[in-house]
Structure 1
């Protein structure tokens, strides 16, 4: 072979390897002897193996299969036939279960069989979630009595949620991460006539679109090789409530299918031609401004209208700081029970720090801070500053001091004149501007929105956000 040809082959080999490692499906090829000759990065990720574990080794030395299951690669190699869309469950050399959907082909040179190649899509997580959802009982432990706090901001949402519990209308719960949106969803379910029926929760961001469709709507036997008749979450939640968490993470095309199910109250399994009637109440959550999500293409406007028959806005912790003491006491009691400890309280310095902090992670962050603090305590009865996690102690405070100043006094001094923090100023400016515009149009939402050049939904969201009322 000439030098140029050799260099060309070496170069192309690198190109092929680069392509194989970049594509988002697993590629596994074996020689006619059943030994691995190609094993790309995606396949290594799916199976949790290194290339040294598999390359140039017989498949049966590395992987194990159930008694009634065979390797689709070896099957294609033995029979010389193509196997398409086949589900396969097997185990790696550490005993980890793996489930894939495979297209497997023998490859020949002329009439001589040279080996087989498999293209695999990972469905391990999907299969596990399906099993969990099929076998789990409703564990809706939260009711309205579980919600800690007595601030006016929180009480208002609780009252609105209790009213929503009386009906079967769809609910959209908006709130920052960690504010307790699922707690409200469970409370609505448990306070409703559907409380004896299933409550099923699914995070829409937890799975890729290719898997969540089958999980939500179910599958029909024959949709792909190995597929069985399986109920989706809608059918599993029959008569009860389905919580779709982070609805804005769902693919726009799937949002359209979801809208059809909600409107028509029927669901069609993947691969089926028959519609199944379903009676399910939908509660959805979103961790951002719905108007922004619609404007930026993450949420369909028609789905938003359908879901937001009842709209609830869970306040952030920084908007209800008067609840911090009660929440802290609750979490101390919780971890006393879990850790077998007897912490009686936190000192005032810790409370001042908690009140001075903005809590971007909200109630969940507060719980984690207290859990972390109690992990380093010994037999002390008071949670003090030295027990707080170092990463929390080093975080900036609202006022830059340990003790927070009252909100009205949190001013910066420049040239002897008080200047409000930017966020406070913008809130007051926007509230004043919207109030004036609404007053000019006698609080007619449609006319005011048109005059301001914004949508009715955007204006209504801001009215609720800033609690603007007709005086």
Structure 2
């Protein structure tokens, strides 16, 4: 047993500018000074003579450094620890923890703590500010986009769950980050997890955490729900989770508590959920990929992010934005899109949406000269091929006309070349640039296909 501490020593310990917490060999609190009371927001009578596991929300005894020092004689130096009191308050400290021995017998353990909770939050906020998008950074003037932004701004005022859905590449995570940035939780963490990227066997441990020994190789870890406490947790492609896993997720969201894999205690979590789907949620429910009860819980606020083909007026704005971005990144001075490229962009359906547009421009600026404009021959081959096929398809008669293959190919090529010359007002040099061939080669093809120079004008 630890001997009773004289009153004078207790007074001295209370004056120290470091948190002191001492437990006896049974894990019950004997000493809890004023500084530790301030750090953890608990009164002494809420702590003294009570067991560690009743005071703090540890999933198991292995999460408590004090109990590890007490039971196994381990010492910890400058150990950073984040934990929750029974009141749900999150604390981050740097601790020195070591066992106390009396006459060669382990009689207790002591923790000396320095509070870094505010510093941790400031660091977390700065880190998030550097990474985070805001509504001001969402590029577009179309009515569809503006309406979505307005609804997202309104949703950012509360902590209700939000469901974002739309095609791949439309910028759903950008909206999620913007909602978080403008919410009262902006100082808290923003953690994003693509559920489809997780193997089924590891999903529960990653989301909810695990205790040591819960499964083979488990070392004990906090889950994403605990890590996102006080902030926002973005769950992308929740429809990829199995039905049993969706049921567990629903329970956590409803109860606002999480139980680590292999643990026995429920830990309260204060987290805002933003769920993301890359398909219409009604379709996902009808086809059994999304539980209806989970959908209704997640879709307190439901936002559809429009695809790029439905907001064509945003294509020039986004193109200029990405060109400026990569000009700075690549130290270039590209002026913009040529008229031909702009016309091609407006005719293209953009199945990959804004992400595809960004990658197309980045790819073009990797092969362009220091200055100038992005021309059609700078674009990826699949875009040029797709446009060629669409032009050929548009030129084909409604009724199929049987003819030799060579003649059919010549007619298709003739139609395509004439259309290209029409778009360039008969300028052979510009047409050759669009087609990705030399001027001399184009002139040869024009002569062979009997597209006479009288129909064209040269530069």
Shorter-normalised TM range: 0.5 to 0.7
Residue 284 of structure 1 is aligned with which of 236, 259, 275? 275
* TM-score, normalised by the number of residues in structure 1: 0.56
State the Cα deviation string for residues 144-198 of structure 1 (Å, max 9, x = none). Answer: 0110001000000000000000010000001000000000000000000000000
1:273 matched residue in structure 2: 264
- Aligned partners of 1:388, 1:356: CA distance in 2, in Å? 14
State the distance in 1 between where 2:141 and 2:287 align.
36
Aligned to 1:179: 170
Shift of 1:391: 2.0
Match of 1:342 in 2: 333
* SS state at 2:267 partner: strand
Q: Distance in 2 between matches of 1:400 and 1:257?
A: 52
User: SS of the counterpart of 2:157?
Assistant: coil
**TM-score, structure 2 length as denominator?**
0.57
Structure 1 residue 399, shift from structure 2 partner: 6.4
Q: Distance in 2 between matches of 1:276 and 1:239?
A: 14
Quote the residue 2:245 is aligned against. Answer: 254
In structure 1, C-alpha distance between the alignment counterparts of 2:283 and 2:219, rounded to whole Å: 40
Structure 2 residue 359 is matched with structure 1 residue 374:
no
Give 1:396 deviation, angstroms. Answer: 3.6
Deviation at 1:380, TM superposition (A): 3.0
What is the CA–CA distance in structure 2 between the aligned matches of 1:202 and 1:398, rounded to whole Å? 39
Does the CA-based 8 Å contact 1:203-1:244 persist in structure 2? yes
Gap change, CA 1:275 and 1:228, over 3 Å in 2: same
Aligned match for 1:161, one of 140, 152, 160: 152
How many Å apart are 1:297 and its aligned residue? Answer: 1.0
Contact 1:358 1:397 (8 Å CA) reproduced: no
Unaligned runs of 5+ in 1: 1-133, 403-409, 416-471
Distance 1:298 1:412 in 2: 41
1:228–1:257 Cα change, 3 Å: same
Offset at residue 140 of structure 1 (A): 3.8
- Residue 214 (str. 1) matches residue 205 (str. 2): yes
1:74-153 paired onto structure 2 within 5 Å? 137-138=127-128, 140-153=131-144
CA distance in 2 between counterparts of 1:412 and 1:161 reads 45
Contact 1:358–1:398 (CA under 8 A) maintained in structure 2: no
Runs of 4+ in 1 over 4 A off after TM superposition: 410-415
Superposed CA RMSD in Å reads 2.3
CA distance in 2, matches of 1:211, 1:274: 20
| Secondary structure class of the residue paired with 2:183 | coil
Q: Distance in 1 between matches of 2:388 and 2:185?
A: 44
Deviation for aligned residue 1:226 = 4.5
Determine the structure 2 residue equivalent to 1:4.
none
Counterpart in the other structure of 1:305? 296
What residue ranges of structure 2 are gaps of 5+ in the alignment? 1-123, 400-459
Change (3 A) 1:225 1:210: closer
The structure number with the bigger radius of gyration is 2
- String of CA shifts for 1:78-116, please: whole Å, max 9, x gaps: xxxxxxxxxxxxxxxxxxxxxxxxxxxxxxxxxxxxxxx
